[in-house]
Structure 1
Amino acid sequence: MKSGKPTPPHYHGHRDRLRARFLQAGAESLQDYELLELLLTYAIPRADVKEWAKGLLSHFGSFAEVLDASHQELVKVKGLGEYSATLIRLVKACAEYYLKEQAIKRRSIPSLPVLIDYCRTSMGGLKDEQFRVIFLNSQNEVIAEETIQEGTVDQTVVYPRKVLEAALKHKATGLILVHNHPSGRLTPSTADRELTRAIIQAAQPLAITVHDHLIISKQGHYSMAEHHLI
């Protein structure tokens, strides 16, 4: 005799097992599509989302590329809607915010690797070039971060005057320059080196020190200070 209770959909038990594995052993216990699948269950509670998770990876190429995708790109993927796209963008934003707090939230930068982690998460997936400056006080505490210039690939133009005007506005005594190379190339171009020298020279009369110029890509980073170019 049947109890009369509806049988839960088959995917409910699977979701519970995914959730239990994550809670017991963390993200490393799940494959990349399973992580996305578990995430999507919070936006799509009444459907089997495994194939949608695999479809996202197939469409964008990797887990990181899914998180780097724009909202407009995500909603075009079959099966995804506004809620799912917003959740994925929210996860990426939360990761960036966490790393930013760890790396540069109004205190001395703990280490170069921590700063690199933040910059790669925040800038590594950008499709256009962006030039940012991290402003430091005399105790090498971060007092601000500002995007000075944005542009298309390899066409960003940054003027030292804009950088120093921002430094004076924030009353900074130190600068860390950061820009990304969407092409993936990590070595500084001739223009990168010339710009760095120009900013250093313009900053010296104002007693402002340029501590480093970081180049960021998905593949890694390049520190001009580490390579003795500053």
Structure 2
Amino acid sequence: MNNLSKVSEIEVFFRPKYKASERPKMTSSKDAYLILIDVWKEGLMQFTEEFKVILLNSANRVLGIVDIAKGGKDYVPVDMKLIFSIALKASASKIILAHNHPSGSLVPSSADKQLTQKSIEASKVLDIEICDHIIVSNEGYFSFRDDGLM
């Protein structure tokens, strides 16, 4: 047997559980926040920073929410390749970035701003729209879109 036959098969699939008409529709940052706060484990939100992505179809219907990374008290490493490979796999047209601040602060850090800009640049190549980047805490939320930072 030669090395040419030692190639792994790669499967790419996405199995939605609900019809498009049954999925929540995102019309504002508050809609996104309400979904995020519902799925976030409130107890952990106060201890570790986590990064999630809401995947949307072209009609702003939620395809799903993906846990991208978990970090420490004030930092979470985010891999762009992971975000966009999942978005492509789910045939998402749009995404909403989200992470929490365990401190409760809703002020975006310079790293948060840089990550948002890096994501926007990466999304242009793949034709996937970044609708917003939302910072979540038990105190409320901050929307980059609403605050004019996108």
Pick the TM interval, shorter chain: 0.7 to 0.9
Deviation at 1:154, TM superposition (A): 1.3
Other-structure match for 1:169: 89
| Structure showing greater Rg | 1
After TM superposition, list the pairs within 5 Å mapping 1:48-127 onto structure 2. 106-123=23-40, 124-125=42-43, 126=45, 127=47
Deviations along 1:155-207, whole A, 9 cap, x unmatched?
A: 31002111111111111110100100001111110110111111110110111
Deviation at 1:114, TM superposition (A): 3.4
Kindly provide the amino acid, as one letter, of the partner of residue 113 in structure 1. Answer: K
Other-structure match for 1:216: 136
Kindly provide the amino acid, as one letter, of the partner of residue 124 in structure 2. Answer: Q
Q: Where in structure 1 do 4 or more consecutive aligned residues deviate above 3 Å?
A: 121-125
C-alpha RMSD of matched pairs (Å)? 1.6
Deviation at 1:221, TM superposition (A): 0.7
Give the percent of matched residue pairs that are identical in Structure 1 and Structure 2.
37
Kindly provide the amino acid, as one letter, of the partner of residue 117 in structure 1. Answer: L
Kindly provide the amino acid, as one letter, of the partner of residue 103 in structure 2. Answer: S
Other-structure match for 1:225: 145
Deviation at 1:110, TM superposition (A): 4.8
Distance of 1:144 and 1:117 partners within structure 2: 14
Other-structure match for 1:196: 116
Deviations along 1:53-82, whole A, 9 cap, x unmatched?
A: xxxxxxxxxxxxxxxxxxxxxxxxxxxxxx
Cα gap change, 1:108 to 1:158, in 2 (>3 Å): same
Deviation at 1:111, TM superposition (A): 4.1
- Asked if 2 retains the 8 angstrom alpha-carbon contact of 1:160 and 1:195, the reply is no
For normalisation by structure 2, the TM-score amounts to: 0.77
Other-structure match for 1:148: 68
Other-structure match for 1:30: none
Greater share of residues in helix: 1
After TM superposition, list the pairs within 5 Å mapping 1:30-49 onto structure 2. none
Question: Could you say which structure has the greater relative contact order, defined with CA pairs below 8 angstroms and 6 or more residues apart?
Answer: 2
Deviation at 1:144, TM superposition (A): 1.5
Q: Structure 1: state its 5+ residue gaps.
A: 1-104
Distance of 1:117 and 1:175 partners within structure 2: 16
Distance of 2:25 and 2:35 partners within structure 1: 15
Q: Secondary structure at the match of 2:114?
A: helix
Greater share of residues in strand: 2
